[in-house]
Amino acid sequence: MTSVGIDAVEIHTGKLRLDLAETFAPEMGDAPEKYTKGLGLHASSFPDTYEDIVTMGANAAHRLMKRKGLEPDDVGRIDVATESAFDHSKPVSTYIGGCLEQVFDGDFHHANKGERKFACVSGTQSIDDAYNWIKAGRNRGRAALVIATDTALYARDDPGEATQGAGAVAMLIDEDPNLVELSTEQGYGSADETDFLKPQQQFPSVDGKRSVNVYLARMREALIDYERVGGKIHADDFRLGPFHTPFPGMVRKAAVLAYRHTTRDTEIEEELAEEIGRQPRSEAFDSDEAYLEALSEYTDALKETERYQAWYGRTIDPTLTLSRHVGNWYTGSVHVARVSGLKALAEAGEDAVGERLLVGSYGSGAQAEIHVETVQEDWREEIEAIDIDERLESRYELTFEEYEDVHDAHNFDEESAVEEFTVPEAEFAFDGWGRMGERKYRYVE
């Protein structure tokens, strides 16, 4: 069977930076630790005035194609995942294809283009589409370009404002991939939920506290569903667990539940029994409430054990490093977590070939998806080629007043004449409006 997976990745970050502890917290009247410790975030990436989902996606895709020596003829599919689209009909992939045609010889007329929507999980769904297309033999030897791009902005003074971000991840899905092979097995947890939505509006309506519980419930369902097809998961089977990361504190909550689930009935539960007892079983309780209370006490104790903390430090923490400095990128978030984790392994000089990743994607509304990835021979070269550290380092540091202005500049309902903060160079930039109300773009040398 042909192996199919992610061959290469490029990341584009919004070019502005908002420091949450130093700049945002004081204006909100919050302690800086709410951000750095509670949510686990230091900064948000923000788009400059000439950046949007198209420029960020096109810039990431351009670098990816250049680095891999690809021409438009090598790409048979361009799928964009976003929840920040500005057009109900014309997909963002057509705009991005148009941008790429400005800089490559040839065109993408032969390529199937689309746009996927299901909140943050649609980046992973687009990878699925590409995987199925290749496995079905419809690709004619071509690869698929999957681009997850979002400006994850919330209305001013919404609690979600603390978790904003903007950026794009471009991924090349191909046969015999260099980075990770995808499992055929998948698990789903999907339900009609009203926790985060954008009914004909730019900024989301969010029930923040509820969204946290919905995330946990759907992830749990997806894990159990995965086990139906992939067999029982053991916590130590995986080198990394990249999860959708709206903010690292969310993953901290999910990770302990995943650990509890995947150590149940294993030697780890037995080894921990002396210290914190065995996991409560529902049969032993008269009521659901008593059972849930005992479960919650066990989970609190589990979190404090050295065994759990060592697992968390090795499997989960490395996946959160980039997210701490960029915030939520919605569709791109879990794909940033994968790169973050693999980057940490590369920096530590680990030989990760053959290691497995347990990848947990999630989108509000709501759906979770779990699958497994296997690290491939040339993973290190692919990860080391990503220059995200330099890009994060060179972001323009916003004052609070500038942040207010640029937030307005990205608000379709506000008039704004804010000047750009940085100068576009060797990248795509927004170039005004066309005669039918379309957004136009040009490559700035």
Q: Does 329 bind ligand HMG (CB under 6 A)?
A: no
Candidates 51, 83, 221, 369; catalytic one: 83
The edge-to-edge listing of strands for the beta sheet with 143-152 is: 112-116, 75-81, 143-152, 165-175, 4-13, 180-190, 367-375, 356-363
Least distance in angstroms from the C-beta of 141 to ligand HMG: 34
Q: Does the protein bind ligand HMG through residue 131 (CB under 6 A)?
A: no
Residue closer to ligand HMG by CB (options 24, 428) is: 24
The smaller minimum CB distance to ligand HMG, of residues 92 and 429, is found at: 92
Cβ pair 238, 315 in contact under 8 A: yes
Tell me the closest approach of the beta carbon of residue 38 to ligand HMG, in angstroms.
2
Query: Which residue of this chain has its Cβ atom nearest to ligand HMG in the complex?
Result: 38
Q: Are 370 and 187 in contact (CB under 8 A)?
A: yes
192 binds ligand HMG (CB under 6 A): no
Taking the complex as a whole, how short is the minimal distance between the CB of residue 263 and ligand HMG, in angstroms?
21
**Residue 397 designated active-site:** no
Q: Is 377 a catalytic residue?
A: no
Comparing CB distances to ligand HMG, the nearer of 161 and 373 is 161
- Crossing angle of helices 267-276 and 306-315, rounded to 10°: 130
The amino acid at residue 46 is F
| Residue 46 to residue 39: CA distance in whole angstroms | 18
SS3 236: helix
Question: Would residue 83 show up in a list of annotated catalytic residues for this protein?
Answer: yes
The C-alpha atoms of residue 224 and residue 228 are separated, in whole angstroms, by 7
Instruction: Write the CA distances from 414 to 55, 85, 280, 404, 408, integer angstroms.
Output: 21, 18, 54, 12, 6
Cβ closer to ligand HMG: 39 or 182? 39
Please, which residue, 315 or 328, has the CB nearer to ligand HMG? 328
CA distance 238 to 314: 10
Of residues 227 through 286, those in contact with ligand HMG by CB under 6 A are 244, 246-247, 249-250
3-class DSSP state for residue 339? helix
Among 131, 243, 362, 379, the residue binding ligand HMG under the rule CB under 6 A is 362
> To the nearest 10°, the Cα dihedral for 295, 231, 376, 2?
-150
* CA 235 vs CA 138, 255, 267, 271, 356: distances in Å: 37, 10, 11, 14, 12
- Interface with ligand HMG, residue 24, by CB under 6 A: no
Out of 12, 42, 244, 407, pick the active-site residue. Answer: 244
d(CA 409, CA 46): 11
- If the CB atoms of residues 366 and 429 are measured against ligand HMG, the closer one turns out to be 366
Q: How far is the CB of 20 from ligand HMG (least distance, A)?
A: 11
Q: Which of 93, 315, 328, 340 binds ligand HMG (CB under 6 A)?
A: 328
- Residue length, the chain? 445
**Residue 435: how many other CB atoms lie within 10 Å:** 6
Tokens of 387: 């220059």
**CB nearer ligand HMG, residue 83 or residue 382:** 83
Q: Can you tell me which of 24, 46, 95, 215 binds ligand HMG, judged by CB under 6 A?
A: 215
Size of the site for ligand HMG (CB under 6 A): 30
Task: Single out the residue of 155, 212, 224, 301 in contact with ligand HMG (rule: CB under 6 A).
Answer: 212
Looking at the Cβ atoms of 4 and 162, the one nearer to ligand HMG is 162
Cβ atoms < 10 Å from Cβ of 199: 6
Verify binding: residue 26, ligand HMG, rule CB under 6 A.
no
Tokens of 75: 């790409």
**One character per residue 144-183, x = contact with ligand HMG (rule: CB under 6 A):** ---------------xx-xx--------------------
**Per-residue b or e along 129-145, where b marks 16 or more CB atoms closer than 10 Å to that residue's CB:** bbbebbeeeebeebbbb
Dist CA 69 CA 67 (whole Å): 6
Catalytic residue among 42, 62, 120, 355: 120
Residues numbered 59 to 118 that lie near ligand HMG (CB under 6 A) are 83
Stretch that binds ligand HMG, among 7-15, 280-288, 356-364, 418-426 (CB under 6 A): 356-364
206 is a contact residue toward ligand HMG (CB under 6 A): yes
Residues that bind ligand HMG (CB under 6 A): 31, 33-34, 37-39, 83, 119-120, 159-160, 162-163, 196, 206, 208-209, 211-212, 215, 244, 246-247, 249-250, 328, 330, 362-364
| Active-site annotation, residues | 83, 120, 244
